[in-house]
Amino acid sequence: METIKGYVEHIIYQNETNGYTVLVLTAESEEITCVGMLRGVDEGESLEVRGGFTEHALYGRQFRAESFRVTPPEDVIGMERYLGSGAIRGVGEALAARIIKMFGKDTFRIMEEEPERLAEVKGISERMAREIGVQAEEKRELRDAVLFLQKYGISGTFAARIHETYGMGLYGILRENPYKLAEDISGIGFKKADEIAAKAGIRIDSEYRMQSGLFYTLKEAAGEGHSYLPEEKLLEKAAELLGVQEEVLVGQLENLAIEKKIILKKEEGKKLAYVSSFYYAEMRCARMLIDLNRAMEAEGSITPAEENARLGKIRALEQMQKIELDELQRQAILESLRHGVLILSGGPGTGKTTTINVMIRYFEQEGLDILLAAPTGRAAKRMTEATGYEAKTIHRMLELNGSISEEAGGRGAKFEKNEENPLEADVVIVDEMSMVDLFLLQALLRAVMQGTRLILMGDKDQLPSVGPGQVLHDLIKSNAFPTIILKKIFRQAGESDIVVNAHRIQEGKSIALDNKSKDFFFLERNDVNVIYKHIVQLVQDMLPRYVQASPADIQVLTPMKKGSLGVEALNRALQQYLNPPEPGKKEHAAGSGNVFRVGDKVMQIKNNYQLEWEIVSEYNIVIDKGIGIFNGDMGIIREINDFASALVVEFDEHRRVTYPFTGLEELELAYAVTIHKSQGSEYPAVVMPVLSGPRLLLNRNLLYTAVTRARNCVTILGSSRTLQEMIDNSGENRRYTSLDKRICEVAAI
């Protein structure tokens, strides 16, 4: 480890989010390019930097900084250089020279301890003197805070966030309750806070620690889709995490309830523990849904003649579109006229889209304004293609503003559309409702005015949302809203073995594996290496020709993340074949162990409401821009810029996003993805390896979801025995949700 000293001649690049900086350091008359996390450094400052020299392929010799500290300039020339650099707002070169002339080597002490004396300098008012003093103090405080927090293993990025949040109060928090960091600072979870607390000497049985551990356990459960945990399950999990007895946690659970951080609710003799925001979200959703569903027409207000007139209009639309609806489909349209909320569910080929198309035309004839939406960009695009009407993502329809909703416990986004600024529509139709989580439902309902018809579509047998809740399941279970479940497979759809087999799987029936199909194939292969060989052949060559698509459009789906046929192993192997390293093709090794390469297929793995995207023309002119990239969004790496320490990903609809190298933990290779992550997407062809794995992951629901993601072709490789075990295994991971109960409670009032 080397140490160099000098002053900052010029800052070439600085990322304000993470502090990554490229600067020129003048050290003993030599100009050195210095790179690293140098947050808060200004031009003109004197630095002492520790690290080592590296040779960059493009930019040559660089000093990579591991740590740094700002040092006071050693002479009046250095002081003048720093002040004249613009580091202090309002102080230019001429004013800097006058300040130095008056106070000499004592200048910095005067600025920090006696700033009022700066008013003695010509051109500095008393007010300006105070402002300069405040700036000098802030810079010193930030540097001191960064140095202090480094002792606890906190990086410069988090140190700046902590200082911004608490100011000088951070020292007291570190001494008394470091666990507060886990609540207030995004990116610092309980485990990191626990490490900091251990270094700060906080006892293992500290009340703060136990409460934080309980709260963390509840929030982690939300990541698995739960909106609450039974008390006994929460205590068991938290005790294991904290290394304490369950008994000592009972009192702390009550304390959290007193502080209103959690809600404890007794139902059927059991205590249920909710993060407060989750309980209130369920209650709000229940109230808003019941209010929306107040009958638009009083019972018996429609005469038989009027009912027949409506049926006549529906049949006229059928003739116009040269289709014939069945009774359930017609009933769905009639129910949408009578009620504020309608749920329409059904598997592939059961006519959901046909029903919605007739419904849209009916509403259009009545002169009603209609909005269509879906949870993901891909699902919205499919909806647009199927209906001929523009469909937006729910986030875009609600006008995401890039802020985080406190109501959602930091998990949800803020939108411009809400109670005060509702959607201007008479009918709102939302597809792929199985993907909508509790907080997105809450945001949607807040923006829908009473008197608006809300039609919720989806397949009840699909996997539930990645986020907390199982909204579609709970809405149907509540029995509070008119619900039409389409089951009949229409003739045209019945010609597809994808559709037929999907329904057989869902019914727990065996499927034909004789490969006499045109769109559903099974290859019995029981060796992992052989499976890999065939997957590469299928994705690279055979399927693109068969379904007339590019290799990037063919999607490998697997139940698991880990293991020989898990996402991680599959992606490493597929990347080597589909996008191998080449001279001149840029790549970047990320801290996650992934190597990202120009041309790689990648996926965003968490909701990021602040990420900015833009769409540019072929002449590189920005023609549209917005914010928000979401869990499951897929794209291609178009550019890697070592100088800017960033890469550019192009998502659907040509949306381009720049990721700093330090933000790549949100990206994963996506040649293969888990079946969970594929929800709401449709691919020309799906390849699925099925050999072995945990029983929890090898179930009917997962297989059904994977099969229904394919538009033209499904190919399964592996063991027919394992495949049958998946069909036989109807068990699902239970989600603890209670939206259905809250709806029933509200409806009973």
Percent with pLDDT over 90 in the chain: 49
pLDDT surpassing 70 at residue 592:
no
Please state, in angstroms and rounded to a whole number, the distance separating the CA atoms of residues 85 and 88: 8
Q: What is the pLDDT of residue 390?
A: 93
Tokens representing residue 178 in the block: 């470091």
Residue (of 71, 100, 86) closest to 11 by Cα position? 86
3-state secondary structure of 527: coil
Q: What is the pLDDT of residue 336?
A: 93
Q: Is residue 749 very low, low, confident or very high in pLDDT (cuts 50, 70, 90)? A: confident
CA angle 467, 472, 477 (to 5 degrees): 125
Contact 45, 26 (CB under 8 A): no
Q: What is the pLDDT of residue 432?
A: 94
In tens, the pLDDT along 518-561 reads 999 999 999 999 999 999 999 999 999 999 999 999 999 999 99
Percent with pLDDT over 70 in the chain: 93
pLDDT surpassing 70 at residue 403:
no
* Residue labelled with tokens 């703060």: 208
pLDDT surpassing 90 at residue 648:
yes
Query: What rounded mean pLDDT belongs to the chain?
Result: 87
Higher pLDDT, 340 or 158: 340
Tokens representing residue 2 in the block: 């080397």
DSSP state letter for 106:
G
Please state, in angstroms and rounded to a whole number, the distance separating the CA atoms of residues 657 and 614: 7
- Range from 208-212, 477-481, 730-734 carrying the lowest mean pLDDT: 730-734
Residue (of 50, 40, 45, 48) closest to 19 by Cα position? 40
Q: What is the pLDDT of residue 72?
A: 65
Please state, in angstroms and rounded to a whole number, the distance separating the CA atoms of residues 743 and 287: 7
CA angle 142, 148, 150 (to 5 degrees): 105
Higher pLDDT, 713 or 610: 713
User: Amino acid letter at 575?
Assistant: Q
Please state, in angstroms and rounded to a whole number, the distance separating the CA atoms of residues 168 and 570: 48
- For residues 135-158, average pLDDT: 70
- For residues 336-344, average pLDDT: 94
Give the helix/strand (H/E) hosting 270.
strand 270-275
Q: Side-chain half-sphere of 461: how many Cα atoms within 13 Å?
A: 25
Please state, in angstroms and rounded to a whole number, the distance separating the CA atoms of residues 185 and 192: 11
CA angle 264, 269, 272 (to 5 degrees): 25
- Range from 82-96, 338-352, 584-598, 606-620 carrying the lowest mean pLDDT: 82-96
Terminal CA-CA length for the chain: 71
pLDDT surpassing 60 at residue 114:
yes
Contact 577, 589 (CB under 8 A): no
Beta strands in 601-709 (DSSP E): 601-604, 608-616, 622-629, 634-641, 646-651, 656-660, 667-669, 672-674, 683-690
Contact 472, 331 (CB under 8 A): no
Q: Is residue 134 very low, low, confident or very high in pLDDT (cuts 50, 70, 90)? A: confident
Q: Is residue 329 very low, low, confident or very high in pLDDT (cuts 50, 70, 90)? A: very high
pLDDT surpassing 70 at residue 406:
no
Q: What is the pLDDT of residue 623?
A: 87
pLDDT surpassing 80 at residue 602:
yes
Tokens representing residue 508 in the block: 């727990």
Q: What is the pLDDT of residue 299?
A: 54
User: Amino acid letter at 113?
Assistant: E
- For residues 426-452, average pLDDT: 95
Q: Is the dihedral of CA 282, 559, 706, 671 positive or negative?
A: positive
Q: What is the pLDDT of residue 724?
A: 95
Contact 256, 215 (CB under 8 A): yes
Residue (of 375, 381, 390) closest to 443 by Cα position? 375
Q: What is the pLDDT of residue 173?
A: 82
Please state, in angstroms and rounded to a whole number, the distance separating the CA atoms of residues 179 and 481: 43
Q: Is residue 645 very low, low, confident or very high in pLDDT (cuts 50, 70, 90)? A: confident
- For residues 492-500, average pLDDT: 82
Please state, in angstroms and rounded to a whole number, the distance separating the CA atoms of residues 498 and 6: 68
* Residue labelled with tokens 């040779």: 55
Q: Which residues on adjacent β-strands are paired with residue 393? A: 374
Contact 186, 144 (CB under 8 A): no
Contact 290, 332 (CB under 8 A): no
What are the residue ranges of helices labelled H in 672-730?
A: 700-707, 720-728
pLDDT surpassing 90 at residue 132:
no
What are the residue ranges of helices labelled H in 481-622?
A: 491-494, 497-506, 528-537, 543-547, 567-578
pTM of the predicted model over 0.95: no
Q: What is the pLDDT of residue 471?
A: 96
pLDDT surpassing 90 at residue 183:
no
User: Amino acid letter at 444?
Assistant: L
The widest CA-to-CA distance across the chain, in whole angstroms, is 97
Higher pLDDT, 86 or 210: 210
- For residues 368-387, average pLDDT: 92
Tokens representing residue 571 in the block: 């992606």
Please state, in angstroms and rounded to a whole number, the distance separating the CA atoms of residues 494 and 481: 30
Higher pLDDT, 204 or 566: 566
Tokens representing residue 466 in the block: 């990645």
3-state secondary structure of 359: helix
pLDDT surpassing 70 at residue 146:
no
Contact 53, 68 (CB under 8 A): no
Tokens representing residue 112 in the block: 């920090």
In tens, the pLDDT along 666-699 reads 899 999 999 988 887 889 999 999 998 888 788 9
Q: What is the pLDDT of residue 571?
A: 95
- For residues 61-84, average pLDDT: 76
Give the pairing of strands 622-629 and 667-669.
Answer: unpaired
Residue (of 298, 265, 289, 437) closest to 746 by Cα position? 289
Q: What is the pLDDT of residue 264?
A: 94
Q: Residue 435 contacts by C-beta under 8 Å, 6 or more apart in sequence?
A: 375, 376, 379, 458, 462, 465, 466, 679, 680
Q: What is the pLDDT of residue 647?
A: 93
Higher pLDDT, 322 or 139: 322
- Range from 143-147, 418-422, 565-569, 688-692 carrying the lowest mean pLDDT: 143-147
Q: What is the pLDDT of residue 85?
A: 63
Q: What is the pLDDT of residue 165?
A: 82
Q: Which residues on adjacent β-strands are paired with residue 639? A: 648
* Residue labelled with tokens 């060559």: 541
